[in-house]
Structure 1
Amino acid sequence: VAITSDTNSTFGITQETITLPMNCTTSSHKTCCICSANMERNSRTVSAEDRDLIFLKKNILIPEGARCCSQHLDDDRLTKNAIDKVAPFSIQSKRFSSSDVQLLISRWQILFEQQKRFDFDNPLSLSDDEYQILTSLTKVQFEDLASYLFDSNIRNSSNRSIRTALAILLCKLPLGLSLNILAVLFQLPDKKTVSRSLKTVRTALMTRFVPSNLGFNHITRQEIIDQHTSTMARRLMCDAESNTAIVVIDGTYLYIQVTKKISFF
């Protein structure tokens, strides 16, 4: 660490600077700063928000103007996998002026003030275990489910993002929390905002996710036989026949009308 004083010859202003060894990524326009791959086209500049986040969380400096492959970005922000891949390429001596240090402190203060109790937009905010406790899904499963919403009509709003809206629904289902409690936990204005988010996500999932993953129409008979029938099931249920589909249907929650004349004891 070296601290020096520089004097501006024009104005006679003395400004202290500090030189620090920093873990740095590459900053070439031809090499991805995330995966070090050669980029011929479709490269994107890493945002200042992501550079600050990685510097604060991982102590790795991504130089301003550094570029990465477009596949590492989702909605102009680095994905979780991309952030996990970020590694220092070299240790370089970087010179910071007093104004640079003040700017870094200001940015860190902004990041701190923007922190949420449950931040599902920041891949580093919650661990995989915390995802499972809150939503019953892993991070990977959560991102996979969220991908269905990115292709739907739902959009980010001033109150909540798409990921936050999905997280609210997934927290509501297993935990049974009231709308008021969800509003407090996710720092939303009121329970009406929570209710609108739940309705929007539920509608989007019914349109995009459910038809492709639930019900009789999302899978063929042959897929059931080939991918979802074990050898033991064949032996027990159909005398080891290879072309028989085995389906187990639970009718516990099927709505069935019952005459009023029947009495239950």
Structure 2
Amino acid sequence: MDVQVDDSSFRSIQMNRDLNNVVTKEIVKLQLNSTSSSHKNCCICSDDFLKNAANISSEDRYFIFFTRNIWILEGARCCSDHLVNHQLKQEAIDQIKQVPIRQEELNSADVQLLLNKSQIILENQNKKFNFGDLLGLTDDEYRLLTSLSKDDFNEFVKTVSSSGIRNSSNPSIRTAIGIYLCKIRLGISNRFLACMFQLPDKKTVSRIIDSARQAILRSFVPYNLGFEHITRHDVINHHTITVA
């Protein structure tokens, strides 16, 4: 069967293809503060790798670019001691050493991604109570809101995450656990929690708290509370006194 296509339609299709090719191949050259890029040295402290090294996540790369104006190349590696839960510690971010300004080439897709990431970072920074961001709260704020130190909270989240609790960006496991701990620590209403964490309504808070509670009951309580988590031998040796 013969299909006829008029010249105007063909030219329109061809122009769209050409435009897409131009956009895809467009390269922007920028002068950026950058870190060193080596598989032998840490891009954070510049020391030789003595222990296991780890790649820096894209989230940390974009965060550092927008907050410290330092570009970290994709695939850059750092000492594993600089990370906690696969994210850079605050002291590691403060320690980053930049090399002299150099030219970096970004394509149009990279630029679009940078714009999207900048919007996400800006939105997160506007949220005062943000457990999802490892750098969003200080240690004192963690203690005030949850009664746990920042390190203890991170360890607690790591333990509860093994229960199979559903992890999503809204809210994250960290946020769900944080809201639950705020509830039992401060005793405030679900409506107030919804306001604090910018959630739609108190029903959403209720679902989040129930999900976190179930996860804690599965992965934490059986191994840390009650008689099931301790042996009779340990009770006799460490939790009894000698009677004359």
TM normalised by structure 2 equals: 0.69
Moved more, 134-143 or 112-121: 112-121
Task: Choose the corresponding residue for 1:139, options 150, 163, 166.
Answer: 150
When Rg is computed on C-alpha atoms for both structures, the one with the higher figure is 1
Q: Partners in 2 of 1:31 and 1:48 — Cα distance?
A: 19
The structural deviation recorded for 1:118 is 1.1
Conserved 8 A contact 2:60-2:88: no
Matched, 1:175 2:182: no
Conserved 8 A contact 1:56-1:108: yes
Conserved 8 A contact 1:33-1:66: yes
Matched, 1:84 2:94: no
| Matching residue of 2:195 | 184
| Matching residue of 1:252 | none
| Matching residue of 2:121 | 111
Q: Partners in 2 of 1:96 and 1:19 — Cα distance?
A: 6
| Residue identity opposite 2:191 in structure 1 | N
* More RCO (CA 8 Å, sep 6+): 2
The structural deviation recorded for 1:126 is 0.6
The structural deviation recorded for 1:173 is 0.3
The structural deviation recorded for 1:180 is 1.1
The structural deviation recorded for 1:168 is 0.6
Structure 2 residue runs without a partner (length 5+):
1-28
Moved more, 182-191 or 24-33: 24-33
Give the direction of change, closer, same or farther, for the CA distance of 1:111–1:66 in structure 2 (3 Å limit). same
Higher helix share: 2
| Residue identity opposite 1:148 in structure 2 | T
| Matching residue of 1:53 | 63
Q: Partners in 2 of 1:69 and 1:19 — Cα distance?
A: 27
Matched, 1:165 2:176: yes
| Residue identity opposite 1:92 in structure 2 | P
TM normalised by structure 1 equals: 0.64
Q: Partners in 2 of 1:124 and 1:158 — Cα distance?
A: 16
Q: Partners in 2 of 1:158 and 1:52 — Cα distance?
A: 17
2:38 counterpart SS class: coil
Give the direction of change, closer, same or farther, for the CA distance of 1:226–1:91 in structure 2 (3 Å limit). farther
Conserved 8 A contact 1:134-1:171: yes
Q: Deviations over 1:193-249 (max 9, x none)?
A: 1111111111111111011111122123444566567xxxx5xx745xxxxxxxxxx
Identity of aligned residues (%): 45
Matched, 1:202 2:210: no
Give the direction of change, closer, same or farther, for the CA distance of 1:131–1:73 in structure 2 (3 Å limit). closer
Give the direction of change, closer, same or farther, for the CA distance of 1:199–1:69 in structure 2 (3 Å limit). same
Conserved 8 A contact 2:70-2:98: no
1:187 counterpart SS class: coil
The structural deviation recorded for 1:60 is 4.6
The structural deviation recorded for 1:110 is 3.9
Q: Aligned-pair RMSD on alpha carbons?
A: 3.7
2:102 counterpart SS class: strand
Conserved 8 A contact 1:134-1:170: yes
| Matching residue of 2:102 | 94
1:114 counterpart SS class: helix
